[in-house]
Amino acid sequence: MTLGIALGLFYGWVISPVQFVDTTPASLRADYRADYVLMVAEAYHADQNAQLAAQRLAIFGSDPPDSIASQALQTGRSAGYAPNDIALLQDLTRAMQAYQPVPTAAGNAP
């Protein structure tokens, strides 16, 4: 039986492991997440639309947008991002910390 278990594990982990082809952004490696956040920061720098930036950051799930931006900033610092990129991420982080979600029309409906 031990031999069978070993064979089963070998087959399940090595020969035919579970395939993850439709992954979510939350599972991305930290540097890819940080680069996405940098894209959002670049766009935010141009349009100054905090709501749109928060919507774009929501791709990562239910974490608060300031937390997502802050994590990206830390990743950027540790990965040696250029100073301009760091500055953009800092701007976005500040904006997300100050951002208050606008209630939707549906939320205001009686």
Partner 1 sequence: MKRDGWMWLLALLAGFGLGLVYAWMVAPVRYVNTVPTTLRSDFKDQFRAAIAASYSATHNLDRAKARLALLGDADPVQALTAQAQRMLASGASFDSIRQVAALASDLKSGVASALPTATGTPTAIAPAISPAAAIETATAPTSASETPTAVNGSPTAVASTSAPQIFDTPTPRPTYTPTSTPGAPFKLVSQESICNPDLTDGLMQITTLDSTRHQMAGVEIIITWSGGEEHIFTGLKPEIANGYADYIMQSGVSYTVRIDDSGSPVPNLAAPTCPGANNQTYLGGLHLTFQEQ
C-alpha distances out from residue 13 to 7, 10, 19, 31, Å: 10, 5, 10, 26
Cβ of residue 49: shortest distance to partner 1, in angstroms? 9
Cβ of residue 110: shortest distance to partner 1, in angstroms? 27
Chain positions contacting partner 1, by CB under 8 A: 1-13, 17-18, 20-25, 27-32, 34-36, 38-40, 42-43, 45-47, 56, 59, 76, 79-85
How many residues in the chain? 110
- The residues, ordered by sequence, that sit 6+ positions from 72 with a Cβ below 8 Å of its Cβ are 33, 34, 36, 37, 38, 89
Q: Quote the tokens at residue 108.
A: 């205001």
For residues 13 and 97, which CB has a smaller minimum distance to partner 1 in the complex? Answer: 13
For residues 66 and 85, which CB has a smaller minimum distance to partner 1 in the complex? Answer: 85
For residues 17 and 110, which CB has a smaller minimum distance to partner 1 in the complex? Answer: 17
